[in-house]
Amino acid sequence: MKRILYLLAATLLPFLLQAQTSFYNVKQYGATGKKSDYATKAIQAAIDAAAKAGGGTVYFPAGDYLSAQINLRDNITLWIDSGAKIWASNKDEDYSEKFYCEDTAEGGIPMVIYGNKVRNIRITGGGAIEGQPEYRQEPYRYNKWTQEDCDAALEAGLPLVCTRWKNRISNIYLYDCQDVRIDNISLLNSSAWPCHLRFCERIYLDGVYVYSKLETAANTDGFDIDGCKDIVINNCIMEVGDDGICFKSTKWKDGFRNCENGVVSNCIIQSSSTALKIGSESHGVIRNIKFTNCIVRNTNRAITIFCRDGNLVSDITYSNIEVECRRYSVSWWGSAELFRLLTTKRRADTPCGTIRNVTIKDIHAKVEGSSWIRGFEGMQNIENIRIENVAMEIWPESAPDKRAKEGISIENAKNVEIDNLKIEWMGDKQPKWTHGLILNNIDNLWVNRLKIVNQPDGLAPIVVNNVTDSNIGEYMDKR
């Protein structure tokens, strides 16, 4: 028996020693675990020590760790234990670097956890990274993107106000990194995008909880996947003051990259803007993205594809999604609709891009707003669109500034297929409600198994204008 124990100890000892030498407790490098004490230098010292040894786990035991920017290295795991929290300093002068993007973050945004061209990194442990945002109210600027929304608010006698930040600090910003894993962690109250991954490859986000105040925390998207490729997002829950999960391609002095090959599944999202979004930044190609098996609730808009900077958005699938949308105030983009697909120009000299090969299927939705698909005027640059097995209930709006008109409108498009679509008007009829389905300037349209229920009296369920090569098959108008 003693011989067996001796052999077992001899076998395990090298591994135990290796585990000890690759484990770096931030308290052993000077962190106190008190929120009043800066831990930035201690955390960085632990990371650098692990990196010098070829990599390892930097461990945060239960406690509060106030920090400014910390820089990741190759082969580093940040293990933020349950009961441990990294608090982002809210003092701009504490930060040495910022990231920039045209039209989004031109002024520069500092970050707490920063990775620049590093490989094999992980953030995990069951703890949290939390910001300390400060917000203020200011007048909301009337602009062409939200002109109709602003007009509706003014008509209802509502003030045009919005919430903006006093400082913007991102919880995590990773640039040009490979083999990134973020799992079993909470990202709380960031005052900018909580998790911005730019030009990264092989990304795994699993079991992440993201929270910011829905009615207050402007520009705090959940995940911004920017010019990345090979992305898997699973089992995440978020309640955020802006977009939920967003694939995009921004541009700065370092150029832009395509964003491609992403899967989002088994997520639950609340958003004061769009839950599942493509764009609006589209400098590079965005393609091969699939959203499936998700729940979207208490959200201003479920699905968005915006192509505003030219280039191509293609091969996008939304499937098996349960949707519940409600109206938010005028300062939030969205009108409680199921989807909005749009090609447009950010500026007059911006090229106009294309949206192609989009499938929206197996969706049940309760909404309050009008959904639409709209190519650029004079063009048919939205093409190969399929809507299949979609049941949409349209309820009276919960906000006083009424916007909803038609159920769904599609215009300036080609190769559109609709199969087994149900549009049902619910509750008391509203003064602005119009047609169930509007089809305008479409080449090659196929419609089958369309049902429109409780269509407002005196208005045609379907309006068709300037449509060529159309085939409208089985249709039911149930009043």
Q: What is the pLDDT of residues 407-434, one digit of tens each?
A: 999 999 999 999 999 999 999 999 999 9
Extended beta strands in 336-460, E state? 337-343, 354-367, 371-374, 382-394, 408-425, 437-453
The better pLDDT of the pair 244, 470 is held by: 244
pLDDT tens by residue, 428-437: 999 999 999 9
CA-based nearest residue to 423, from 439, 410, 435: 435
pLDDT bucket at 469, cuts 50 / 70 / 90: confident
* Length of the chain counted residue by residue: 479
Bridge partners, residue 233, by sequence: 205, 264
Tokens coding 192: 């900018």
Maximum Cα–Cα distance across the chain: 92
Please answer whether residues 216 and 244 qualify as being in contact, where contact means their C-beta atoms are separated by less than 8 angstroms.
no
The better pLDDT of the pair 14, 375 is held by: 375
Q: Residue 183: pLDDT above 60?
A: yes
The better pLDDT of the pair 61, 102 is held by: 61
Give the C-alpha separation, 122 to 178, whole Å: 11
Q: Is the peptide bond prior to 273 cis by the omega test (within 30 degrees of 0)?
A: no
pLDDT tens by residue, 63-118: 999 999 999 999 999 999 999 999 999 988 899 888 888 877 557 899 999 999 99
Question: Which residues, 6+ apart, have CB-to-CB distance to 5 below 8 Å?
Answer: none
Q: Residue 2: pLDDT above 90?
A: no
Asked which of 99-108, 134-143, 437-446 is least confident by mean pLDDT, the reply is 99-108
pLDDT tens by residue, 250-305: 999 899 999 999 999 999 999 999 999 999 999 999 999 999 999 999 999 999 99
Q: How far is CA 106 from the centre of its chain?
A: 20
Helix (H/G/I), strand (E/B), else coil: 295: strand
Give the C-alpha separation, 297 to 197, whole Å: 25
Give the C-alpha separation, 466 to 164, whole Å: 43
The DSSP output letter for 9 is: H
Bridge partners, residue 181, by sequence: 122, 204
Please answer whether residues 135 and 89 qualify as being in contact, where contact means their C-beta atoms are separated by less than 8 angstroms.
no
